[in-house]
């Protein structure tokens, strides 16, 4: 069972969800705005945060950004607005999923189960992080070994030769593992604001990157309509 922080300025929505979740054995803490959510997260941990967007004092986007600065807690965003921009921006600030109101508590909890399970796997030690004699941090995913400091990637012991941009793209995905990254965010962080290509350029680089990774290509997951995510466990 999960410890859930449910953040919404509408009391009826908070209490309705909390009653259903508690019936299934979950513990639900309620917050009426983003500022209260940030304060609660400073003093305790939760398995997941369900965050409304449009709230007084501090909106859900800002609250999510603030919480992610200090806590590695997955966030599922709720919003009455279903515009693509809001969804993409939600992923940009670190949310793992997005549900449009009105919502079914049953569906939300099904998504919660997937998100929490995936997050726990990602932090359970299945990814090996160690330092070599030179002090480099080595990311190991089975037979995929990534040394970002030395810019060396090996697949089952064989070094992989990639272009500089392919290295940058892989390193960026790994540094943000478990996070849904929109194509716009990838362009901004990897290519820079002066990039004038389109989605096909990013898709081509991901395709080439997957080809280099061979049997470990499944670590790079396509999120339809959004972008990509690097999963530590597949």
31/90 same-domain check: yes
The overall longest dimension of the chain from CA atoms, in Å, is 58
117/140 same-domain check: no
198/100 same-domain check: no
Asked which of 122, 144, 171 is the last residue of a domain, the reply is 122
146/107 same-domain check: no
Asked which of 101, 122, 143 is the last residue of a domain, the reply is 122
How many structural domains does the chain have? 2
116/160 same-domain check: no
Task: Write out the residue range of the structural domain in which residue 11 sits.
Answer: 3-122
If you count DSSP H runs as helices and E runs as strands, how many of each does the chain have, helices first?
A: 8, 13
Q: List per-residue pLDDT tens for the chain, 234 residues long.
A: 899 999 999 999 999 999 999 999 999 999 999 999 999 999 999 999 999 998 988 999 999 999 988 888 999 998 877 666 677 777 777 788 888 888 899 999 998 988 888 777 666 544 555 555 556 678 999 899 999 888 899 999 899 988 888 999 999 999 999 899 998 888 888 877 555 556 677 888 899 999 999 999 999 999 988 899 999 886
110/145 same-domain check: no
Asked which of 64, 90, 122 is the last residue of a domain, the reply is 122
113/137 same-domain check: no
104/139 same-domain check: no
User: How many Cβ atoms sit within 10 Å of the Cβ of residue 130?
Assistant: 9
């Amino acid at each position: 069972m999960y410890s859930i922080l449910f953040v919404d300025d509408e009391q009826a929505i908070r209490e309705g969800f909390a009653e259903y979740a508690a019936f299934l054995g979950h513990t639900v803490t309620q917050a009426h705005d983003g500022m209260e959510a940030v304060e609660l997260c400073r003093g305790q941990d939760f398995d997941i945060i369900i965050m409304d967007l449009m709230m007084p004092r501090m909106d859900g986007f800002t609250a999510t950004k603030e919480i992610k600065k200090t806590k590695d807690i997955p966030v599922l965003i709720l919003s009455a607005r279903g515009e693509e921009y809001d969804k993409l921006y939600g992923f940009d600030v670190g949310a793992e999923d997005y549900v449009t109101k009105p919502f079914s508590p049953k569906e939300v909890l099904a998504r919660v189960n997937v998100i929490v399970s995936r997050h726990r796997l990602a932090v359970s030690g299945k990814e090996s992080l160690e330092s070599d004699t030179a002090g480099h941090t080595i990311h190991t995913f089975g037979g995929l070994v990534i040394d970002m400091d030395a810019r060396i990637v090996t697949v089952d012991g064989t070094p992989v030769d990639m272009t500089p941009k392919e290295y940058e793209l892989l390193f960026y995905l790994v540094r943000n593992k478990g996070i849904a990254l929109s194509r716009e965010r990838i362009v901004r962080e990897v290519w820079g604001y002066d990039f004038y290509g389109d989605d096909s350029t990013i898709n081509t680089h991901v395709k080439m990157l997957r080809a280099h990774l061979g049997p470990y290509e499944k670590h790079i997951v396509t999120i339809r309509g959004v972008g990509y995510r690097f999963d530590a466990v597949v």
